[in-house]
Structure formats: structure tokens, C-alpha cells
Amino acid sequence: MRAVGLVTEYNPFHNGHIYHIKQARKITNADAVVAVMSGNFTQRGEPTILDKWQRTQAALQNGVDLVVELPVFMAVQPAHLFAAGALELLNDLQVADIVFGAEHPLWNFANFVEAEEHFSQREFEKFNATYATQFNRQLSNLTGHSLTDPNDILAFSYYKANLEKGYSIRLHPINRLGSQYHDQTITGTIASASAIREAVSKHEAIDRVAPEQTADLLTKLKCIPAWERLYPLLRNVLIQTPLERLQQIYQMAEGLEYRYREAAERELTFAGFIQRVKTKRYTYSRLLRVCLYTVMEITNDQVLQANAHPYLHVLGFNGQGRKYLHQIKKNVHYPLLTKISQSEHDGLINLDYRAGKLYQMFTNIEQDVKHAPVIVKK
């Protein structure tokens, strides 16, 4: 059996994802579709609108055969680390191809990777702009193109990781259909995840743009997971924790701990807090990720340790996915986990376990321990 890999968040699962799955099968003629999916927090550092088990169910009911979790220490990262983590797991899962959406699929992303080798590192030492702005300034000078759209940035990151790690995975960028990534309105049958989440917050109909099961779950959603509900925890950590310990938080660099502490002392809402800590140096995504690392008290050492011991946490599969797992299980290098025990949540998957406990504040549902994979019979 040959497998095609997808890197996903499914936040939430919608019609555009169904198109992606169908195109992946068509382009590669694969026997199985394997999705590596972020858990309960996105790359941007925000809680997902539905939990990882609900999103796994939707994926399996709409064309995916096997879903494996992208651990939080890989998922909640800037694009290059997010992409590198996803490809590392898909490579161990022995996928032959990866199909992904891009705003400009005809661009030669491999050339961009080569161009980066000629960048001046001095440009990145300036503090008057974000890293992304400085990166694009140099890329544009060398190639005439800028990576400003999220999926183009990820496409570049997939090519870079594939090259640097020496993987033999074939990469296939395809054109996104319908709405753009950040579009906030629904105009057809394919809408962005952002637009769908916005519609859910306003109690607007989403049945045109999402499968029935997903639309039903979102319609019945009593609480939309958001940082406003987590802010009291974050604020308490920032105020109560000594600065020397805050400095050990992952990505808490260049004096951010002082800005975070001051903002927490002054602001009673998360919106006010994040606005106060924003500077030209950092994107909102970077700041949101640091918020999650902080409330979970994830340190630099913990991330280094976790990255040294990757694993494959199976969230769900159908009959074809089961066959594929049986085919590869003796050849994967990383631990293959299907049900989390007490010893595992204290060790190997500790960061994901803690992320699940944090997310449990929204759902009151256990996210990891003794949770069996979702099985869809097809």
C-alpha cells in the first residue's frame, strides 16, 4: 500500500478539506490517506473550536484513513518548525507523497530555499520589524516574490524541511479553492476556517460549507474555546511567577517577560493584554504561542527533551487505515501509541497531556488518558 500524507489542523473540518483529500488521492493514486493533525491548539497558539477527537471523526468520515496527532511541541510553532515536525512524522509513517494547498502553487518554492542561503544575517539583527518582514524583504530582492500568504509560507517550509532532512517525499502544492485563508465572510460552498469560526460566533448558518456532522456539532457548541477564558490562568502565572522562572519559558526571549508581566498587572481582559504586549518586533502569532507556553509553563529544556523523543499518537483510523498501520508498524522508528497509560502521560506525552488538561476547561472531557482511537467502519 502507498500512502499520501496531509498536514492539517481541521479547525474546523470543512468542504475545502474534502476537496483537498479528493485531490490528494487523484494526484497520487494512493491507497491510503494519512493526516498528521494538530491536537487541541493550533500553530498560532489558539485553542481549536472542536477537540481533536471530534475533528478526527470528521476527517475519517470524509476520506481520511488514518489520523496521527502532531504533538503540541511541534504544532504550536512558527511555520518552519511546524512543517519540519509534520514531515518528520510523515516520513516515519512512510508516506510517499504530501499534497498541500498554496495560494501560488506554480511558484518554484525550491528556488526560494536556495535563495535563502544568500540572505544577510545582519538584517535579522534589526528590531524595527518582524522576522517575517525582514525575511520577505531579502527574498523579494533576490527572487521578486514575497511569502505573505500563510499557505505559501508553509509550502516553502515543507520544501525546506524535505531538503534539509534528506527525505525522499514528493511534494505536490495545489491551488486553494474559494475563500482566502483570512477571509471572514461565507460567500459560497467553500469558505475559510476563519470565516466559519466567525459565523459560528455570530450563530450564523454554516451547513453550506461544512459536512453535516461538523455543522451539527458547531451549531450545538455552548462555549467557543478562546483565550479570554484562559486569561485568568495566564495572568496569575505572569504575576505570581518570579521573573527568573519566566525567563525559562520557551520563546520568552529579549525581555518579553517584563512586557508580559507589566501587561498582566495592568489589563483585566485578554484583548487588552495582547494589544499592550504587541510591538513591531513580534507578530500576534508569536505572542499567542508564548502565551500558551507560559500558561502551561513549558520551558526550553522541556521542548528540547520532547523533540529528542518524538512519537506517533494514533487518534483514529478506518479499515484501510488499520491495514496501513499493520503494514508499517514493524518499520516505524518512533513509538506507536494507541491508548495513553498513566506512565506515558507522566513521561513521553507529558506536554500533550498537559495541553489536554488545559483544553478540558472548555469541554470537561478527558483528552488523553485511556482514550481509545476513533474507529470508523467503512
Quick check: 178 pLDDT over 70? no
What per-residue string of b and e applies to 56-87 under the rule 16 or more CB within 10 Å gives b? bbbbbbbbbbbbbbbbbbbbbbbbbbbbbbbb
Distance CA 204, CA 199 (A): 5
Specify the pLDDT at position 125: 67
Domain architecture of the chain: domains with CATH: 3-104+151-224+306-376 (3.40.50.620), 109-148 (no CATH), 227-303 (no CATH)
- Which residues does the annotation place in the binding site for ATP? 7-20, 101, 151, 176
Q: Which cell numbers hold the place of 349? A: 506525552
- Which residues does the annotation place in the binding site? 7-20, 101, 151, 176
Q: What percent of the chain has pLDDT over 90?
A: 84
Section 138-161 average pLDDT: 93
Helices (H) and strands (E) in the chain, counts: 18, 8
Beta strands in 40-115 (DSSP E): 66-70, 97-102
Section 284-295 average pLDDT: 97
From 111-120, 177-186, 243-252, 359-368, the region with the lowest mean pLDDT: 177-186
- Cell numbers 494507541 correspond to what residue? 338
Quick check: 217 pLDDT over 90? yes
Confidence of residue 101 (pLDDT cuts 50, 70, 90): very high
Specify the pLDDT at position 41: 98
Specify the pLDDT at position 127: 65
DSSP state of 108: -
Residue 242: what residue type? P
Per residue in 7-28, pLDDT tens? 999 999 999 999 999 999 999 9
Q: Spell out the residues 6+ positions from residue 194 whose beta carbon is closer than 8 angstroms to its own.
A: 181, 182, 183, 184
What Å distances lie between residue 288 and 30, 260, 280, CA to CA? 37, 11, 15
* Per-position DSSP letters for 316-342, written without gaps between them: EEEHHHHHHHHHHTTT-SS-EESSB-H
Classified as helix, coil or strand, 313 is: strand
- The angle, 0 to 180 degrees and rounded to 10, between the axes of the packed helices 270-277 and 227-240 is 60
What pTM does this model have?
Answer: 0.94
Confidence of residue 120 (pLDDT cuts 50, 70, 90): confident
- Cell numbers 489536554 correspond to what residue? 356
- In contact, 195 and 122? CB cutoff 8 Å: no
Q: How far is CA 167 from the centre of its chain?
A: 21
Confidence of residue 133 (pLDDT cuts 50, 70, 90): confident
Confidence of residue 291 (pLDDT cuts 50, 70, 90): very high
Helix, strand, coil percentages for the chain (3-state, nearest 5) = 50, 15, 40
Distance CA 50, CA 209 (A): 16
Average pLDDT, the chain: 94
Specify the pLDDT at position 283: 92
Nearest to 90 by CA among 8, 175, 193: 8
